[in-house]
Amino acid sequence: MAADNFLHDDKLREECGVFGIFGHEDAAPLTVLGLHALQHRGQEAAGIVSYDGEHFHSERRLGLVGDQFTKKSVVDRLKGHAAVGHVRYSTTGETAIRNVQPLFADLSGGGFALAHNGNLTNALKIREELIASGAICQSTSDTEVIMHLVARSRKQRLVERLIDALLQIEGGYALVAVTNKKLIGARDPLGLRPLVLGKLDGAYVFASETCALDIIGAEFVREVDNGEVVVVTKDGIESHRPFPPRTPRPCLFEYIYFARPDSIVGGRSVYEVRKNFGAQLAIEAPADADVVVPVPDSGVPSAIGYAQQSGLPFELGIIRNQYVGRTFIEPEQRIRKLGVKLKHSGNSAAIRGKRIVLIDDSIVRGTTSIKIVQMMYEKGAREVHMRVACPPITYPDFYGIDTPEKAKLLASHHSLEEMRQFIGVESLAFLSVDGIYRALGYDGRDATNPQFADHYFTGDYPTPLVDQDDNQPHRQLSLLAEAS
Amino acid sequence: MAADNFLHDDKLREECGVFGIFGHEDAAPLTVLGLHALQHRGQEAAGIVSYDGEHFHSERRLGLVGDQFTKKSVVDRLKGHAAVGHVRYSTTGETAIRNVQPLFADLSGGGFALAHNGNLTNALKIREELIASGAICQSTSDTEVIMHLVARSRKQRLVERLIDALLQIEGGYALVAVTNKKLIGARDPLGLRPLVLGKLDGAYVFASETCALDIIGAEFVREVDNGEVVVVTKDGIESHRPFPPRTPRPCLFEYIYFARPDSIVGGRSVYEVRKNFGAQLAIEAPADADVVVPVPDSGVPSAIGYAQQSGLPFELGIIRNQYVGRTFIEPEQRIRKLGVKLKHSGNSAAIRGKRIVLIDDSIVRGTTSIKIVQMMYEKGAREVHMRVACPPITYPDFYGIDTPEKAKLLASHHSLEEMRQFIGVESLAFLSVDGIYRALGYDGRDATNPQFADHYFTGDYPTPLVDQDDNQPHRQLSLLAEAS
Amino acid sequence: MAADNFLHDDKLREECGVFGIFGHEDAAPLTVLGLHALQHRGQEAAGIVSYDGEHFHSERRLGLVGDQFTKKSVVDRLKGHAAVGHVRYSTTGETAIRNVQPLFADLSGGGFALAHNGNLTNALKIREELIASGAICQSTSDTEVIMHLVARSRKQRLVERLIDALLQIEGGYALVAVTNKKLIGARDPLGLRPLVLGKLDGAYVFASETCALDIIGAEFVREVDNGEVVVVTKDGIESHRPFPPRTPRPCLFEYIYFARPDSIVGGRSVYEVRKNFGAQLAIEAPADADVVVPVPDSGVPSAIGYAQQSGLPFELGIIRNQYVGRTFIEPEQRIRKLGVKLKHSGNSAAIRGKRIVLIDDSIVRGTTSIKIVQMMYEKGAREVHMRVACPPITYPDFYGIDTPEKAKLLASHHSLEEMRQFIGVESLAFLSVDGIYRALGYDGRDATNPQFADHYFTGDYPTPLVDQDDNQPHRQLSLLAEAS
Amino acid sequence: MAADNFLHDDKLREECGVFGIFGHEDAAPLTVLGLHALQHRGQEAAGIVSYDGEHFHSERRLGLVGDQFTKKSVVDRLKGHAAVGHVRYSTTGETAIRNVQPLFADLSGGGFALAHNGNLTNALKIREELIASGAICQSTSDTEVIMHLVARSRKQRLVERLIDALLQIEGGYALVAVTNKKLIGARDPLGLRPLVLGKLDGAYVFASETCALDIIGAEFVREVDNGEVVVVTKDGIESHRPFPPRTPRPCLFEYIYFARPDSIVGGRSVYEVRKNFGAQLAIEAPADADVVVPVPDSGVPSAIGYAQQSGLPFELGIIRNQYVGRTFIEPEQRIRKLGVKLKHSGNSAAIRGKRIVLIDDSIVRGTTSIKIVQMMYEKGAREVHMRVACPPITYPDFYGIDTPEKAKLLASHHSLEEMRQFIGVESLAFLSVDGIYRALGYDGRDATNPQFADHYFTGDYPTPLVDQDDNQPHRQLSLLAEAS
């Protein structure tokens, strides 16, 4: 990994984005576009399975949607009026085509393709049981576990069998599946992972975010509810609610970092929410400074909010090199050594001699913050005051966000003052937990019944962590490492 | 497919070659070399799984071994002292990475990697049963079926579980498997598909042919017997014979076309056997001609045999363009239209004004023969007498040879005279069935207990054809078409 | 070209960026980094020639620096302590490796490698004369013309011969050359094209912009003066001024669009200048609006300036998909048809129900502006007031900027009101010519002795246009079209 | 270079093959096919320039014709009814696109594309003079030198200018050129390099060998004579003979190794000539042996001739791996170390216990012969008698054959007995110089007026060696090393 990837390296990672459509003659090209709009949720690989009324067609590729799925030959092979798609970010560092989704299997009722965003908290336990009873696991993905449970269910109809499977799994998930008759979208009982329903030319669409509806011009219908299983057939949609009713607890990090700013999540504009985070931060932690500087690109909306609330001017103190994103992946050592500024550079004119408020959306390990702050001083900043538009991250996530282990989370083992010194700034402040709820329109966090999943800040995990409860927290059954 | 591939298009195809090694520090590079020597058995894809004492490592690629497995990065990832490898020719036209072997799965006893050459005659039936009982089938390969049976066996030890699986399958197979403690090689009860055992620096080696032992300098130990399961551990080898004793019936086509001429199959030099076929053909079907011309390259040994027996001079009447093999795969239509001689050209100097005996190893559809004969006449041959160094192919194979359906086999629905007219030669003769046995050292075919599998000539299938017995001979459960 | 490239398609294009270094053991990797920082000046191809004291080494590739020049094998081949490099944007649509710079030739004094940014206004005339006298022209580039003139000079020393050549050419150029003893940097008599001098570890560096010095940590020494030829040898630098002294007239478009915002051009921060353009525009053309929205990314600094001056809030009303830049180059027609929003999307939350001031850096054809404005209305903007941070572009450039012919420049044949209607906005205003000078610190344009080249706005070309003066304005001698 | 390339490494190399066609609507695809048939003359790169009546179109690529020129997009770009093409083997180890032919230049009379097979013996001298007088040389090829001479000629018509150029150069060449009105083919005064004229559908064709006529179905018209310049226009062909009449001395190595066996060179079948070489060798140097074994593939015709003459059986004692040709180019060191038999293997069955006569077409360095002989003994040969179907190569070539310098030619500094010991055979014999002439139908070599160029055997160079006569035999003006 290049030294210069630092600005990206220190972010939390989403594992996936999903998309599905049923009943549209352009099912595959629309899925390509939908996945492209969800590309920020996973850049490692993408896959699409379509169904043409007779056969299923699958294309799975490492790389970006826009590189791998734009050829006529690829789109033409994905025949049919129904399709599900997936973009993936690998949590394990393992770049294996066998782990790329959607997975497909022949079941007794016919073909079944499944794509899934999220993480199960009891997948390892179930996997062990499956293997003990003679199942073969060819990938390390939770998706395969769900598939096995569907395959083994004694229920008759496929939807019942899927529900049977969902009742056995724990964790956060949003999944889309296509069979020879149906498109199914489902969301975990707490609604941890996002899934929305849209409509285009009479065809129903599922997607992780509304931006995937926007790109194809689909109308937003509603969010899939927590614990809901929505089934689309040629006769329309039907809704199943197999779980006991619960108050939803969607993941706060969709607002903080994952979702695209132009998406609507839980009825709120992500862009507006991020500006509110910045504004709330300005109220909670004002700074005696001259300019507000965002860490690009994810810090920009919060910085705008902070600037507007504080009255300080907003300035581009850091310039991003727009040609770095996908090149300089593994530069030769002599270049890497010399090129510590491949990705960003400080904009001296905006910061020289100034006291700056540097706004970032979050701090994970803090290693990146050190480098950015240092760059600001080198380019002449007189004082750097860092403001972070979310609370300190102190606990790992187990629902589909790729968090480093607890020991590597800066805030989990440093005091605020220690962090300030570590990062090397004049002052450092984080948005408070109650502040984040206020920015979302509440008076604060409802401690007895929290409105969101916020365990990364509070340690209050919304579900049992089965696989974590025994003493092998990162036990990996699969012994196979594959790159291809 | 290019028009000019005709000389190759009209051959039978082997599905695979396998290789395995245990207890050698260069396990992966040796497997690369072994697979390279077996490349003629499958050019579509290759794969290697190695085991390093802790993890399994898998690399599977479409393309040739020499292209895909020669990079340092690839070889370095394949750590360990044990490895199994596979080269594959796709019988289905489906070029899917998910079908590339070896397959790997986590079983309750640990990791298990399996590579397999051959075809099961009851795989579809078993597959249906597996799916009905909740298994998920992610590929269309027989290998996955075997893996499921191993996974579901109630036996304790892995070898016992594999034997349990083998007892349920029918057909032709040679397989190699690696576990965290063992390397296993096994051959079907009739020894239809070939497998040999070798030794290098104290490490045991399995390979489809002896030429793979030669390339790494390994000593030939013996053939794996029909129905034998050979288990290699650090303590040496042990042999299991789970099937009732039977007389072997190895596949004649290894001698006729598949095996490399420098391999030793069943104790016989393939080159010598082919020369014998030619010599026997000269005895059975002499020709009043001036020169003997082989169809390159596979007809050369038989042509040498025919020439030596008949006393006629051997001449290169057809010149192969050595640069065609892998280029001109799909030339633009304007080139294809013009270029009917991309691959071979007639050598006028050797044949002008002459009566030639054209020797080919076999005739499948006959379409190629027409073109070659026509080229001979165009280049001035006065008479063309075709001699084929095996009997007429009249029945399809179901044990791992990719045969066209019966209706497309020229000899299955044409008399000899019809074939002669179809191909357009002065005279046409095939080696007799008894002649092929004579060339192999017998007095003729032992009708009650045939020494070889020869069903493509006789219709005498050596095993029941379970999947063929119902009325859906090409029933394909999998509904998935994938290219990647 | 994809429909979605529209935001980029309607910008003026720079032809090139150049870089050179002499006397550093890391000459090649530093040149790679320097060219990467200049990548915005040309994305089609890049090239580097190095000199190791004995041989010259050349690598020229189509594609991005970060893709093509990061491998160890490439960097290792570029041996030596001196190097020149080039990034290129093709003005002609011809993507030919033979036109990729630097060019190299054996001259009587030894090897000579030349890279050049700009365009000669008498190249065609000279080329005709060269050909008439027996020269062979293998490319269509001006660089080859300069090389011929150097080769044919009767002067003795190489610097003298280069000067001899420069005295014969007209136009805008910044060039770097390396010989077996020297690195040379030169700028046209008016300083139309930019070139700066820097120093790193005692080694001198030339680059088109200061951002290329920043990335390698080099110190900015000074700009190369207009008409100056700077020669670097192991003994230091010497300056030649072969032209009569003239007031410089650097190109305004470096400030408007070409240069990176963090570069310093003519002693001014490009970022500051662009903010000043926005502020001046707010003074000249205020709007009765609610928010200021930039067209990303190039409109951002001006929008910040406009917002700060006007007191209106700055909002991200358009979100750029960061994964589009290099993918979806030629998507299959079915995708293209559906995907008109691949690159950007309107951010409804920021603009719904609002009166917006949309800020763009320039308008060329206007086709893009139409689409953006339409997107704004679709996303709920109540009124759109467009403000353009430069004057109307009415004349083509002939000094190295790829301008469409006059007839395609929107402002050259439409009145302001016609343009307003064409683009479909409530109001439209451009920065005035005097305004642009004011934003740069002058009272206004000095009509008798203009401080900058501003012919695209005024028609006042700073040099004679020899090749344009006859009646074949786009006469192309070369008859060769090559793609490779 | 891989260790296993040994069998090929020890051959002499031809530099090029050329092809041209005029007046055919399929000019480009026919040129693709023609170059494919000439691929054995150069595998490094290929190029085609076509002319469509208005523009020239050029495509030049590294790699094989069948890989690089079969796409529709490539063929479609090569518009027009006239084309010239070239395949190249690099003599210098420098794989540079700038050296790939045909070259194109704008001359005062219009475009001119030139492709050339051969080598000039006074190119360096001319090049020095050109550079001294102000020419720029961008490649290291002789072709560029010829182009400069054409460009500088004071003659009026292009054919006259080309003849003017030819009168200044010395050496061996066969060239084809296309202008906006003509196709030209020319051959050096001695006819050292081959060129034939053919006709297809009324269009004239030039090619290095007749096999390129055969592949497109063109009729062979005649050879271009030594010293002849053939000009094809829409009005037919005209012949110029600018040189004083001389007896031709075509290159013997076309018969020995370069030409394809199915080509007709100088009115003789190459296959027949090679058989005659073998037969003559059997007469001159019989062996007390059991079988004749060819070194594949080039030794096969001579071996057939030897076997037929001697009455010994012809056997395939060496099997070539048909999948090696283009893979295993640079295998990882661990594979290379282990895999000394990647390319060929000994066929034990054919040679065990036998006394073999090993037939090769030529011996250059002898390093390969050592390895082959060793392989024969390892596989059980009792005695190995080596017979070489040409005389000992003792002098380098300077007319387009890539010969090692004299010191590396085995025969130039070893006696026959020393060579026998070096190679490790029981006996060793070469065809005599007179024998080679006898096999070609003469009584022997005419010492006063030799019928062929045979300097590699005799040191009797047919032309002055201008560039060799001063003391810098390998003086390379160009200082540039480029790989791209």
| Mean pLDDT on B251-278 | 96
Q: Partners of C116 in the beta sheet?
A: C175
Indicate the pLDDT class of residue C94, thresholds 50, 70 and 90: very low
C186, pLDDT greater than 50: yes
Q: Which of B63-77, D326-340, D430-444 has the highest mean pLDDT?
A: D430-444
B265, pLDDT greater than 50: yes
Residue D3: predicted pLDDT = 31
Contact D57 C480 (CB under 8 A): yes
Q: Does D180 touch chain C (CB under 8 A)?
A: yes
| Mean pLDDT on B198-205 | 97
Q: Report d(CA B205, CA B30) in Å as an integer.
A: 10
Residue D475: predicted pLDDT = 39
Q: What percent of chain C is predicted at pLDDT more than 70?
A: 90
| Mean pLDDT on A249-268 | 96
Secondary structure of residue A129 in the 3-state scheme: helix
| Mean pLDDT on D280-309 | 96
Residue B121: predicted pLDDT = 93
Q: Within a domain: residue D166?
A: yes
C354: chain A residues, CB-CB within 8 Å? none
ipTM: 0.90
Q: Within a domain: residue A184?
A: yes
Contact B55 A480 (CB under 8 A): yes
D12, pLDDT greater than 90: no
Q: In chain C, what's the furthest Cα-to-Cα distance?
A: 72
| Mean pLDDT on A372-384 | 95
Q: Report d(CA D317, CA D349) in Å as an integer.
A: 8
Q: Same structural domain for residues C225 and C285? A: no
* Lowest model confidence (mean pLDDT) among B39-43, C234-238, C334-338: C334-338
Residues 42-71 in A contacting C (C-alpha not used; CB under 8 Å): 43, 64-67, 70-71
Contact D479 C111 (CB under 8 A): yes
Q: Same structural domain for residues B341 and B408? A: yes
Q: What percent of chain A is predicted at pLDDT more than 90?
A: 71
pLDDT: is B322 or A186 the higher one? A186
- Interval D383-433: pLDDT, tens: 999 999 999 999 999 998 877 888 889 999 999 999 999 999 999 999 999
Q: Within a domain: residue B481?
A: no
Candidate from B36, B66, B271 with C-beta closest to D347: B271
| Mean pLDDT on D51-55 | 92
List chains adjacent to chain C, taking adjacency as at least 3 C-beta pairs closer than 8 Å: A, D
Q: Partners of D47 in the beta sheet?
A: D60, D86
Residue A88: predicted pLDDT = 87
**Closest residue of chain D to C155, computed from CA coordinates:** D134
Distances, alpha carbon C186 to alpha carbons C47, C193, C206, in Å:
19, 10, 10
Q: Same structural domain for residues C238 and C289? A: no
D262: chain B residues, CB-CB within 8 Å? 319, 345-349
Contact D108 C131 (CB under 8 A): yes
A2, pLDDT greater than 80: no
- Interval D327-354: pLDDT, tens: 565 667 777 777 667 778 999 999 999 9
The 3-class SS string of chain B reads CCHHHHHHHCCCEECEEEEEEECCCCHHHHHHHHHHHCHHHCCCEEEEEEECCCCEEEEEEECCHHHHCCCHHHHHHCCCCEEEEEEECCCCCCCCHHHCCCEEEEECCEEEEEEEEEEECCHHHHHHHHHHCCCCECCCCHHHHHHHHHHHCCCCCHHHHHHHHHCCCCEEEEEEEEECCCEEEEECCCCCCCCEEEEECCEEEEECCCHHHHHHCCEEEEECCCCCEEEEECCEEEEECCCCCCCCCCECHHHHHHCCCCCEECCEEHHHHHHHHHHHHHHHCCCCCCEEEECCCCCHHHHHHHHHHHCCCECCCEEECCCCCCCCCCCCHHHHHHCCCCCEEECHHHHCCCEEEEEECCCCCCHHHHHHHHHHHHCCCCEEEEEECCCCCCCCCCCCEECCCHHHCHHHCCCHHHHHHHHCCCEEEECCHHHHHHHCCCCCCCCCCCCCECHHHHCCCCCCCHHHHCCCCCCCCCCEEECC
Indicate the pLDDT class of residue C13, thresholds 50, 70 and 90: low
CATH code of C224's domain: 3.60.20.10
Q: Partners of D386 in the beta sheet?
A: D358, D428
Q: Within a domain: residue A308?
A: yes
Contact D323 B36 (CB under 8 A): yes
Q: Same structural domain for residues C209 and C348? A: no
b/e for D285-307, b at 16 or more Cβ within 10 A?
bbbebbbbbbbbbbbbbbbbbbb
- Interval D96-155: pLDDT, tens: 555 678 999 888 888 999 999 999 999 989 999 999 999 988 777 889 999 999 999 999
Boundary of a domain, candidates B249, B264, B285: B249
Q: Which domain holds residue C37?
A: 13-249
Residue A329: predicted pLDDT = 56
Residue D29: predicted pLDDT = 94
Indicate the pLDDT class of residue D8, thresholds 50, 70 and 90: very low
C474, pLDDT greater than 50: no
Q: Does D454 touch chain B (CB under 8 A)?
A: no
- Interval D207-224: pLDDT, tens: 999 999 999 999 999 999
A6, pLDDT greater than 80: no
Q: Does A214 touch chain C (CB under 8 A)?
A: yes
pLDDT: is B54 or C14 the higher one? B54
Indicate the pLDDT class of residue B405, thresholds 50, 70 and 90: confident
Q: Same structural domain for residues A316 and A226? A: no
Q: Same structural domain for residues B64 and B157? A: yes
Residue B298 annotated in ligand binding: yes
Q: Report d(CA B36, CA B86) in Å as an integer.
A: 10
Residue A447: predicted pLDDT = 93
Residue B88: predicted pLDDT = 87
Q: Within a domain: residue D388?
A: yes
Residue D239: predicted pLDDT = 97
- Interval A267-287: pLDDT, tens: 999 999 999 999 999 999 999
* Lowest model confidence (mean pLDDT) among C32-36, C94-98, C180-184, D424-428: C94-98
Quick check: D191 and D225 in contact, CB under 8 A?
yes
Q: Partners of B442 in the beta sheet?
A: none
Residue B67: predicted pLDDT = 84
Contact B77 A483 (CB under 8 A): yes
Q: What percent of chain B is predicted at pLDDT more than 70?
A: 89
Mean pLDDT over the full length of chain D: 89
A484, pLDDT greater than 80: no
Q: Within a domain: residue A174?
A: yes
Q: Same structural domain for residues A146 and A237? A: yes
**Closest residue of chain C to A71, computed from CA coordinates:** C332
| Mean pLDDT on C310-317 | 97
Residue D27: predicted pLDDT = 96
Computed from CA positions of residues B51, B53, B56, B59, in that sequence, does the dihedral angle turn out positive or negative?
Answer: negative
Helix axes B123-132, B142-152, angle to 10 degrees: 50
Contact B43 D323 (CB under 8 A): yes
| Mean pLDDT on B81-87 | 97
D306, pLDDT greater than 60: yes
B147, pLDDT greater than 70: yes
* Lowest model confidence (mean pLDDT) among A62-76, A113-127, D80-94: D80-94
- Interval D425-434: pLDDT, tens: 999 999 999 9
A99, pLDDT greater than 80: no
Q: Same structural domain for residues D121 and D170? A: yes
| Mean pLDDT on C267-295 | 97
C216, pLDDT greater than 50: yes
Q: Same structural domain for residues A151 and A300? A: no
- Interval C64-74: pLDDT, tens: 888 888 888 88
pLDDT: is C33 or B335 the higher one? C33
Q: Within a domain: residue C291?
A: yes
- The separation between the first and the last C-alpha atoms of chain D, rounded to the nearest angstrom, is 18
C90, pLDDT greater than 80: no
- Interval D185-196: pLDDT, tens: 999 999 999 999
| Mean pLDDT on D293-318 | 96
Q: What percent of chain C is predicted at pLDDT more than 90?
A: 71
D36: chain B residues, CB-CB within 8 Å? 321, 323-324, 328, 339, 342
Mean pLDDT over the full length of chain B: 89
Mean pLDDT over the full length of chain A: 89
Residue D229: predicted pLDDT = 98
User: Phi then psi for D331, rounded to 5 degrees?
Assistant: -65, 150
Q: Does A154 touch chain C (CB under 8 A)?
A: no
**What is the tally of structural domains in chain A?**
2
- Interval C326-361: pLDDT, tens: 556 567 777 777 766 777 899 999 999 999 999 999
Residue C459: predicted pLDDT = 95
Q: Same structural domain for residues B212 and B296? A: no
CATH code of C399's domain: 3.40.50.2020
The residues of B annotated as belonging to the active site are 16
Q: Within a domain: residue C373?
A: yes
Q: Same structural domain for residues A357 and A210? A: no
Q: Same structural domain for residues C244 and C302? A: no
D47, pLDDT greater than 70: yes
* Lowest model confidence (mean pLDDT) among A285-289, A346-350, B7-11, B396-400: B7-11
B324: chain D residues, CB-CB within 8 Å? 36, 66
C86, pLDDT greater than 90: yes
The answer for residues whose C-beta is within 8 angstroms of residue C474's C-beta and 6 or more apart is none
B3, pLDDT greater than 50: no
